[in-house]
A and B are shown apart, each in its own frame.
Chain A
Amino acid sequence: MSSIPLTHILFVSTALFFIGVYGLFTRRNLITMLMAIELMLNSVNINFVAFNKYLYPHTLNGVFFSLFIITVAAAEAAVAIAIIINLYRNHRSIDVEDAQEMKY
C-alpha cells in the first residue's frame, strides 16, 4: 500500500496554476500567453482527477470533467490560433501591445 497525501497533489497543481498566471502576466506574445492558459487548464485537470480519486473513488465525475475540459481546450486553441493568424496578417506582429485597434 502506498499513500500520497492529497494536499501534496493540490500543492503541485496550485504551483502549476500560478506559474501559468505568472506567464500570463509577463509574456506579451499572444501564443505564449495561450500556452500559459493551457498550463492553468491542466493544473485544474489535476485537481479534478485528484479529488475524484481521493474523495469519491467510486464515481467518474471528476474524470469526465477533465475530459470535457480537454475537449473545450482543443476547440479554444483552434479558434484562438485562427484569431492570432488573422491578427498577424493585419498587424504583422502578435505582440498584444501592438494590437491597439481591433477595427479599422
Chain B
Amino acid sequence: MDISQVLFYALSAMALGSAIMVVISRNPVHSVLWLIITFFAISGHYILMNAQFLGIVNLIVYAGAIMVLFLFVIMLMNLNAETEPQKNKWLKLAGVVAGGCLLLVLVAALKQAEVKGKVAMLETGDIGLIRNLGKALFTDFVVPFEISSILFLSAMVGAVVIGKK
C-alpha cells in the first residue's frame, strides 16, 4: 500500500461519493457543486495515470467553464429544492434496478476479462506532458483538430441562433 495506491483509492471514493451526491441532492446548485468535486477527483485520476495535460484541461474546461455556465443558468432560472420536480418512488426504484442490472453485467464481464493481470508503473513516463502532446496533435491529429474548430464555430453559431429570437 504505497502512496499512489492510497491516492487512487481515496480519489475513487471521493469521485463515487460526490457522484452519488450529484444524482440524489434535491437542490440543483448543490448538484453542480458536487459535480465540480467529482471533476476534481477525475482530474486527480488523470494525473495519476500520467495524463497531466488532460487533467489540467479537464479542470479548466469542465470545472472552470461548463460548470460556471450551468450554475449561471440555474441561478438565472431561480431553481431550488422547491421547484425541483417531485420524483416518483417507483421511478427511482426502476432507475436503481435498470442501472444496477447493467452495472452487474458489466462488472461480471470485467472480472472475466483478459486484462486482469495488467499493471503499469504509475510514476514513470512523461508521455502525457504538453510537449509530446503538442507534437502529436499538430502532426498526426491535425485533421480532427481542425474539424473540432469547425465544430466549435458551428456550435457557437447554433447557440446564438437558438438563443436569439
Chain A positions near chain B (C-beta within 8 angstroms): 1-12, 14-16, 18-23, 25-29, 31-32, 34-36, 38-39, 42, 45-46, 49-50, 52-55, 57-58, 60, 63-64, 66-68, 70-79, 81-86, 88-89, 94-95, 97
**Interface of B: prevailing SS:** helix
Given the interface contacts A26-B23, A49-B54, A70-B58, does A21 sit within 8 Å of B87 by beta carbon?
A: no
Whole-angstrom CA separation of A14 from B99 in the bound complex: 11
The CA-CA distance from A11 to B116 in the complex, in Å, is: 12
> Is the CB–CB distance between B16 and A3 below 8 Å?
no
- Chain B residues near A (Cβ < 8 Å): 2-5, 8, 12, 15-16, 19-20, 22-23, 28, 31-32, 35, 38-39, 42, 45-46, 49-51, 53-54, 57-58, 61-62, 65-66, 69-70, 73-74, 76-77, 79, 84-85, 87, 91-92, 94-96, 98-100, 102-103, 106-107, 110-111, 113, 115-123, 125, 127-128, 132-133, 136-137, 141, 144, 148, 151-152, 155-156, 158-160, 162-163, 165
Residues of chain B within 8 A (CB-CB) of A35 are 22, 31-32, 35, 70
Minimum CB–CB distance for A11 against chain B, Å: 6
Report the Cα distance A69→B60, complex, angstroms. 14
Determine if B159 and A79 form an interchain contact, defined as CB atoms under 8 angstroms apart.
yes
**Which B residues touch A19, using CB under 8 A?**
16, 19-20, 22-23, 99
Q: A10-B110, A31-B74 are in contact. Are A39 and B19 (CB under 8 A)?
A: yes
Residues from chain B with a CB closer than 8 A to the CB of A6 are 115-116, 118-120
Q: Which applies to chain A's interface (DSSP): helix, strand, loop or mixed?
A: helix
Point out the residues of chain A lying under 8 angstroms from B136, CB to CB: 60, 64
Count of chain A to chain B residue pairs whose CB atoms are closer than 8 Å in the complex: 227
Chain B residues near A94: list those with CB within 8 A. Answer: 77, 79
- Mind listing 14 A-B residue pairs with CB under 8 Å? A6-B116, A7-B113, A10-B110, A11-B107, A12-B12, A12-B15, A14-B106, A16-B38, A21-B102, A26-B95, A29-B84, A54-B115, A67-B54, A97-B85
